[in-house]
Chains A and B, each alone.
Chain A
């Protein structure tokens, strides 16, 4: 069974640009969550999508948005990039909604975004 895949793996953008990251969950998984990892901050929750609906949202500005398609693939968009958006963006999928017993999350390798 293929794992969670994220594209692209690396990305360099300049301030003010926008970026779209893609995540393909494990086949059959209907929940996709996005996290931002920066040095010293751990994994900070961005949002979770389940069956094309946003279930939960973290404390990030509106420049961060996402969506999920009918095949459970998800995209995350960041508009008007800032230097502080440089981070590893991780996507995780689970069979059911995240946070429940037995709905463990499986992570992709991440997309390393650098904003210059």
Chain B
């Protein structure tokens, strides 16, 4: 039973345009949501997070939107840069519980 779903295995975006990565979840008790970025041969690195009491959190080029009624969150990257090419993992947890990760979306930024 997959509680965190990233339905797009891959996404290609032109450099300079907006990248939108989507994530759906099934557990309404999730309280905290995170995005991680992973390059090959490295561990995931934390990107941005959002608490369930908010619907938007912004950090530089990265913005995460949370729609609790739809159980959906998205990560927007504007503008997309070549270094953004990586695998992006969406993750969620209940309060003080284990973090559940999605399967990831591979983002390709095209020149």
Contact = CB atoms under 8 A, between A and B. Distances in A.
Contacts of B34: 104
A107 B43 contact: yes
Interface stretch (B12-20, B58-66, B67-75, B96-104): B96-104
Interface in A66-106: 90, 92, 97-101, 104-106
Contacts of B94: 99
A40 B6 CA distance: 11
A33 B101 CA distance: 13
Nearest to B103: A42
A26 to B, nearest CB: 12
Given A35-B101, A42-B89, A104-B34, A97 B96 contact: yes
Nearest to A50: B96
A99 B99 contact: yes
A28 interface: no
A110 B45 CA distance: 12
A4 B44 CA distance: 11
Interface of B: 6, 32, 34, 36, 41-46, 49, 51, 89, 91, 93-104
